[in-house]
Structure formats: structure tokens, C-alpha cells
Amino acid sequence: MPGSIRDSGEVNPSRREYPRPRVLSVAHSPDPDDAFMFYGISQGKLAGENFRVRHVLKDIQSLNEDAFKGRWHITAISAAAYPRAADKYWVLSVGASVGRKYGPLVLARPDRLDRLKSSDWSRLRIATPGPQTTALMLLRLYRGAFTAVDTRFDHILEAVKKGKVDAGLVIHEGQLTYKDHGLVSAVDLGKWWFRETGLPIPLGLDVVRKDLGRVAARDMARLLVRSIREAYRNKKEAVAYALKFGRGIDASVGERFVRMYENKDTLDMGKAGEKALRTLFDRAHRAGLIKKSVPLEIIHP
């Protein structure tokens, strides 16, 4: 019989076999791309598993903070937040949000665009989606000196429109809809990262708790692969489900956003994705954005 996990989530040390949680906590952000990825799990489409899933939805900043405490068995996390959670989690090769020549955008009103063309950003106030987000780490690598105004990601466009900030660092579907709000793109961090490194941009990860053990972690990776493949087999239904998390966007925009971040890299980040992740951490360490180099072990299905 497989081992067990107490309700607290701690491993039962009396068992030699790998632990199987009775209830598997799976956490991700309330966004169309993540919802699509976890469709098979969240909708109970995966028969034959001997555990129940506790489905947790939180914004990515909250998930980052939860990961520092090791709260969930499997969780989405910003790539930039992983160094602080590396003692508790392994990175899964599956489930990554990877952009190839696209990624977070710095947006502004047309009348403030000139401020962003200057080489001196020290007086600029930029709305950013959270202190541990990959978007902010990338912007610090791009141009370090500015004031980050911590803003809920779905309030950033409005803050820029109303002139509360000089610009906004936008993630999620705002990357596709910003023109509808009368805003312009000043910096495309995905394109910048590719020019700098020739690599894709690793934005989000799915990670698995180390106290489950490597065998169970690989099982969890296979479970997530099955969930994504289930979504592709039932694409129309899965996209409709994902759009419930799109904050009012229409089906065409929602499907475009899902396609951006649910791609072949999501099923396996591959060698390029792993190299990109190591490059991000190395550059952040040299820039003083993270305190020490990150030991990186990727769990494959």
C-alpha cells in the first residue's frame, strides 16, 4: 500500500513507500491559461486516481507567499519567487508558462510615453503586479532604478489610464487588450529578453513539494501532463471553462491568451526552458536581486 500524508500535509515517517496524500492540494492563479492547464484535474476528468483534489484559486502573489511556507502540494509560482521556495519545492518540467519573443509589457498613456524613452527612470512610478513576480524581476534587470508601485494585477490598466502612475507592468490578458484602453506599449520584455539571451522567457512554474519524495513528484508531473492533454482533447469545453477566469474578455481574446502560454513548452519546458530558467537566476543573482545561486532540480514525468 502507498504511504500516507496527515491532514497537515506532513509526511508519515513510519512509511518507507512514497507518500500518497488522501487529499492533494493543487493551487493556481485565476487566469485562463492556468485554468486551461488544470482543466482535467479541476473538472474530475482523470479517473483511476486514489486521492481527491482540493482545488485552490489565488492570485499569483498570494501563491508565491504560500509557497514560501510550503502550503500546497502542487502550486503555480512565479519563476522569480522560486529561489525563496527552493528548499521546499522541486520545479516540474510540465506546467511552465513560457513566452517565446513575448512576455510582460510596460504600458503608458501616449502623453507619458516620452518619459519612458529616457535612460533615467529614477523618477518614474510604475505599477507592478507583485514584489516576487517574474515580470518585476525582468523589469529590474532591464532598467533597475524606478519606483515600483505594488498594484493588484487586474487594477494596473486602470491606474495607468487615470494617471496615478507613469506606466504599468502588465501581465495576463492585458497584454492583448491594452489598445482598447487607449494605452501604448513602451517596452516588450519578452522581445528584450530574447535579444539579450536568445532564449525563451520563463515566467511561471508549477512546483511540487519535496516532502512527497521524488517518486510521488514524478507521479504528480504525469498527472499534470494528463490534465493538459485532457484539455486539448476537449479543447472547446476546456476553453469555455478557462474563459470563466478571463475577467470579461471575449472568447477570441481568451483563446489567443490560452494559446500564448499553453503550448509545447507547457507539456515540457525542454532544454531551452531549463537553460532560460538558469540564466534568469544567474543574472538576477549577479544583479543582486536574489541573495544566492539557486540549486535547480527539474522533475520530469
Catalytic residues: 172
CA separation for the pair 133, 124 (Å, rounded): 19
Q: Do residues 142 and 187 make contact, with C-beta atoms less than 8 angstroms apart?
A: yes
Residue 29 grid cell = 492563479
Q: Do residues 65 and 267 make contact, with C-beta atoms less than 8 angstroms apart?
A: no
**Crossing angle of helices 134-142/270-286, nearest 10°?**
60
Residue 253 grid cell = 481574446
Residue 12 grid cell = 508519515
Angle at 15 between CA 13 and CA 21, to 5 degrees: 85
Residue 214 grid cell = 521524488
CA separation for the pair 208, 222 (Å, rounded): 12
Q: What is the C-alpha R_g of the chain?
A: 19
Lateral strand order in the sheet of 167-170: 147-150, 125-128, 167-170, 105-108, 184-188
DSSP string covering 73-87:
SEEEEEGGGHHHHTT
Residue 37 grid cell = 492547464
